[in-house]
Chains A and B, each alone.
Chain A
Amino acid sequence: MQNKTWGQLILRLIIGGILIYAAFSKIVHPQEFYLSVLEYHLVGDTLSKIVALWLPWIEVLVGVGVLGGIWFLPNLRLAQLLFAGFTIILIVTLFRGIHTDCGCFGTAGGRISWLHVLGDVILYFLTTLLVIWEQIVSNVQPAQPNADNQNNSGKE
C-alpha cells in the first residue's frame, strides 16, 4: 500500500464510488431493476431475476474492494469484466434498436445511448490503467513479504 499515489487514489475513488452508487438503488428496488434487465431482451424471465438480485452485490463488493484496497487485483479484474460486459450489452442492445432505460444506476440513468457506451469504455480504461499501475508497482518494488503484496501477487 505504500506505493499508492494521489492519482491512483483518485481513480480508486471514481471506480469504487461509481460501482457502489450504481448498486445502491438496484438493491433497494430489486423489482424495478429486474424489469430493466428484462427490457434488454437478452435473457429470460428467471435469469433476469437472478441477474437482478446478484449483479448489484457484485458491484458493491467490487466497489468496496477497489476503494478499500481489499483483494485489490481480483476486484480490479472483476471491475474490468463488469465494464466490458456492460459495454458489450449496451452496444448489442443499441444495434438491435431497443431504446430501453439503462438501469445503470437502478431507477436513474435514462434511456440507453452511445454516451452510456462511452462512459463504460472510459471506466474500463481507467480500471485497466489501475491494473497496469498495480502490476508495474509490484514488478518495480523489491519483493517484500507483507500482506498487501501477497494479496496482489496472484498467490492463490
Chain B
Amino acid sequence: MALRKKSTLRAVPVFKMVLIIVFAGVLGVFRNFVLPGGIDFGTSGAQHATAQDTLSENLTLEQGYVLYQQGVQFLDARSHEKFQAARIPGAINIPAELTFQEKVERTDSLDISAKYILYCNDAECPLADELYEFLQIAGFQDIHIMVPGFDGWQKAGYPVEGESDAE
C-alpha cells in the first residue's frame, strides 16, 4: 500500500506522454511526405506573400470593367438572394453564409494561379474582404477587390444579368 501511495504522487507519466507525442510526429511526417495528398511545405508561404502583395491592388470600376472585357473571372461575395437577383455576367457566387468546407468545395475547381476580381454591394460591405482572406488562405495568388462593388457597377451602366436584368 505504501508503494501505491508513492505512485500516485508521480501520477503524471511525462516520459510516456512525450514518447506518444514523438511517435505521433513520426507518423504525421510519414503520412505527409510518403503517402499522397500531404501538405506542401515548400510553396504556400510564397503564395501567401504574393497574395499579400496584391492586397493593395484594389480596383476601381473602370479597371474592373477592363478586366471584365478581358474575360477575368468575377467572384460575387454577396448573399445568394442578391446574386440571383442581379450579378456581373459570368460571376461565381461564394456567399459569406457558406461554411468553410462549402467554400473549399466551391473553389475547388478554380485555378489558384488565375486572376480573380471579388466584389460585394459597395465600398462599405466587408464580405469581399472576408472572401479575399479565405482565398488568400486557400493559396490563390492573384486576387483583387473591386471596391465600388455591384451597386457602383450597376449605376455605371455596366452589364448585369439575373432575374432583374431586364431593366
Interface residues of A, Cβ cutoff 8 Å to B: 27-32, 34-36, 38-39, 45-46, 49, 52-54, 56-58, 60-62, 65, 71, 73-75, 77-78, 100-101, 103, 107-108, 110-111, 131, 135, 138-139, 141-143, 153-156
Q: How far is the CB of B11 from chain A (nearest CB, A)?
A: 6
The 6 nearest A-B residue pairs measured at CB: A101-B100, A74-B16, A57-B24, A154-B10, A153-B7, A53-B28
**CB < 8 Å: which of B11, B13, B25, B100 contacts A100?**
B100
User: In the assembly, what is the distance between CA of A68 and CA of B38, in Å?
Assistant: 29
**CB < 8 Å: which of A28, A36, A45, A77 contacts B13?**
A77
- The verdict on A77 contacting B17 (CB below 8 Å), with A27-B31, A53-B38 known, is yes
User: In the assembly, what is the distance between CA of A77 and CA of B29, in Å?
Assistant: 24
- Residues of A contacting B: mostly: helix
**CB < 8 Å: which of B16, B37, B45 contacts A71?**
B16
Is B85 close to A, CB under 8 A? Answer: no
User: In the assembly, what is the distance between CA of A107 and CA of B99, in Å?
Assistant: 10
Contact B3 A143 (CB under 8 A): yes
Contact A154 B100 (CB under 8 A): no
Q: What is the size category of the interface that chain B forms with chain A?
A: 35 or more
Interface centre among B5, B20, B25, B31 (most CB of A within 10 A): B20
User: In the assembly, what is the distance between CA of A78 and CA of B7, in Å?
Assistant: 18
Contact A38 B11 (CB under 8 A): no
- What string of 1s and 0s marks CB contacts (under 8 Å) between B90-108 and chain A? 0000000001110010000
For residue B48, which residue of chain A has the nearest CB? Answer: A45
Is B63 close to A, CB under 8 A? Answer: no
- The verdict on A39 contacting B100 (CB below 8 Å), with A29-B37, A53-B32 known, is yes
Is B58 close to A, CB under 8 A? Answer: no
Is B39 close to A, CB under 8 A? Answer: yes
- The verdict on A73 contacting B104 (CB below 8 Å), with A45-B44, A53-B28, A54-B24 known, is no
